[in-house]
Amino acid sequence: MDERFESRVWRLGDHIDTDVIIMTKYLAKSSLRDMVPHLFEPLRPDLAAKLRPGDCIVAGENFGCGSSREMAASVLKTAGIRCIIAKSFAKIFFRNAINNGLLLIECEELYENCREGDTVTVEVGRELCCNGRTYPIPAYSPAVLEILRHGGLVARMKAMDKSAVGAPPPENPFRNHHQPGHTLAEQLLIQNTGALVRPGDVVTVRVDEAVLHDIYAPYIFRQFRDMGFDRVYDPDKVSAMVDHLYPTCIDDDPRCFRYSRRFQDKYGVKRLCVGEGISHQLALEQGIARPGKVVFGTDSHTTTYGAVGAFATGVGYTEMASIIGSGQLWVRVPSAIKVVVNGTLPKGVFPKDIILRVLGDLTAAGAIYRSLEFTGSAIAGLSISGRAAIANMAVECGAKVALFAPDEKTAAFCGVDPAEFGWLRFDDGAQYERVLTYDAGELEPYMACPCSVDNVHPLREVEGTPVDQVFLGSCTNGRLEDLAAAAKVLEGRRVSPYVKFIVTPASREVYRQAVELGYLKTLIQAGAMVTHPFCGLCQGRSGGLVSDGEVVIGTHNRNFIGRMGSPRARTFLASPAAAAAAALEGKITHPGKYL
């Protein structure tokens, strides 16, 4: 790693998300070099051809927000980008970039004081200079410096002493005991590590479950091999999920399917889920996510598992390779924001409306690397599915994890004795960075408007907007109660004749139950097209892509520019009932009158 260098500046804005950096439809290409021409395509399609080795990017806040796709960092590195200087970075992107040896620098002031084409001089860990001004920059933690000095995580793990992999953990004096004065996130990490942690501490956790996805399987396999591992740390704790690219829709997709199977064939991974549904629903259904577990997955919406009290978050493919080889990962203990919702939700208001309101209040960068912890009488009244919808979208404001204290509903859902997790509960002495308090009775239906998840408005402010397509499903709102809510709106009615209405159940089991209970029959009779359970449309790869000027109402989790097709389409995010009402009338409308 060079300690001092100069770079030409390319200037971008706030909230440059991973879909803008590299679109999902290019992720299955066989090489990173093949992806380079498509960098920033939805935003600046001419930029990739202008980039030169040694250039840098200067951006605003929350650079790299969105998914855990490590290609967003590795393709920039392949294109020759020397460093990225931004006001702030999304949590997963930061780790992914460092793991690729790509230098990231946080600097609040440079963005307003430089222009595209300027030259910036960087002295790593000390300062940077541009246009005669000098700006101090923060030093890196020892863990980050060690990775950077190795040139990335692959070289760092290759040099690791692997003889200790699989060794039994040391005795934990705090095991199964509540620790007063700590947040839920802190309690989970104390249980895992045996250390009395506080926000900002860096600890190494033992990984209880690792969930890898087909779309990244070739890269995980390659990194795992290049790190020098010849076996996974525990075949029973590794799951390979084929949900993003099944069925395949682009020429390079079958390669990802083959590599997903290779983890089972070569390394004995016990759980391989092919076509069974979307990973985040399967993790809940199959007990991968349980109270007290520490879980990492190669998808940013792994935060979903916090609905049952698991410390769960997304990682990139390089960290996943290190996890399945070593069984551990370093984590910085997050500070926490408590969200209290008391009272009864009005008719037409759903868990999706709760999280949309929170996202609008916090903004896309308002909880970077925080633990969002939900409590209150309204939260206690939600089903696990409702809690999962909230936890799923917590990452959209940058949260590291989203947590609910386990209760009797959790115990019944997970099939465990409540006494097993009695230690994990809210504590009056815990220190929260911020507390958001809501009266559930004052909430109303909300929508995330184009083109960011935190552009949240009451539905009434956009009521009447014509709609071309409605999408009901995904890992956010494709569960049984979501299909039931939509069926209630549409029972005995037909969708508007010019609306395309697509329904994607979250899993095969949800699909089966929805058939048995008649929900799918109701939706089909209303004019819906029901797909198999997969990630296709939500990630913008197949099954309903939209064209210029079209308006989509979706129950999924992201409405980034170009995510569902044309960059000139507009996507609104809403609850299942609001989506169904829009399909019925062909325009945005309040769902309450149909419930």
Of 304, 291, 455, 281, the residue nearest 372 (C-alpha)? 304
CATH class of the 335-442 domain in this structure: alpha beta
What global pTM score does this model have? 0.95
pLDDT tens digits for 301-356?
999 999 999 999 999 999 999 999 999 999 999 999 999 999 999 999 999 999 99
Q: What is the pLDDT of residue 246?
A: 84
Other beta carbons less than 10 A from residue 255's beta carbon: 17
Residue 168 pLDDT class (50, 70, 90 cuts): confident
Of 118, 90, 119, the residue nearest 104 (C-alpha)? 90
Q: Angle of helix 217-226 relative to helix 253-267, nearest 10 degrees? A: 50
Q: Are 569 and 544 in contact (CB under 8 A)?
A: no
Q: What is the pLDDT of residue 276?
A: 95
3-state secondary structure of 144: helix
Q: What is the pLDDT of residue 10?
A: 98
pLDDT tens digits for 484-506?
999 999 999 999 999 999 999 99
Radius of gyration of the chain (CA): 23
Superfamily of domain 179-332: Aconitase, domain 3 (3.30.499.10)
Share of the chain above pLDDT 90, in %: 87
Residue 32 pLDDT class (50, 70, 90 cuts): very high
pLDDT tens digits for 437-446?
999 999 999 9
Residue, of 560 and 325, whose pLDDT is higher: 325
The domain segmentation of the chain, as residue ranges, is 4-158, 179-332, 335-442, 447-594
Asked, as a colleague might, if the bond just before 273 is cis with ω within 30 of 0, I would say no
Region 37-44: what's the mean pLDDT?
A: 96
pLDDT at 164 over 80: no
pLDDT at 148 over 80: yes
CATH code of the domain occupying 4-158: 3.20.19.10
Tokens standing for 176? 């199964």
Residue, of 293 and 175, whose pLDDT is higher: 293
Q: Please state which of the four CATH numbers 3.30.499.10, 2.40.128.280, 3.90.930.60, 1.20.210.10 is assigned to the domain occupying 447-594.
A: 3.30.499.10
Q: What is the pLDDT of residue 29?
A: 87
Alpha carbon 203 to chain centroid, angstroms = 22
Task: Tell me the sheet residues that pair with 84.
Answer: 57, 104
Residue 208 pLDDT class (50, 70, 90 cuts): very high
pLDDT at 194 over 90: yes
| H or E stretch at 206 | strand 202-206
pLDDT tens digits for 351-399?
999 999 999 999 999 999 999 999 999 999 999 999 999 999 999 999 9
Q: What is the pLDDT of residue 357?
A: 98
Instruction: Write down the mean pLDDT value for the chain.
Output: 95
| H or E stretch at 168 | none
Q: Are 547 and 466 in contact (CB under 8 A)?
A: no
- CA 163, 160, 30: angle at the middle one, nearest 5? 115
Pairwise CA distance, residues 466 & 445, whole Å: 17
Q: What is the pLDDT of residue 566?
A: 86
Residues in the chain: 595
Residue 539 pLDDT class (50, 70, 90 cuts): confident
Pairwise CA distance, residues 129 & 116, whole Å: 15
Residue 247 pLDDT class (50, 70, 90 cuts): confident
Q: Are 59 and 17 in contact (CB under 8 A)?
A: no
Would the CATH topology of 4-158 be identical to that of 447-594? Answer: no
Q: What end-to-end distance do the CA atoms of the chain give, in Å?
A: 61
pLDDT tens digits for 70-91?
999 999 999 999 999 999 999 9
> Torsion angle, CA of 9/13/19/25, rounded to 10 degrees?
-50
pLDDT tens digits for 270-311?
999 999 999 999 999 999 999 999 999 999 999 999 999 999
Q: Is 46 exposed, middle or buried (0-12, 13-18, 19+ CB in 10 A)?
A: exposed
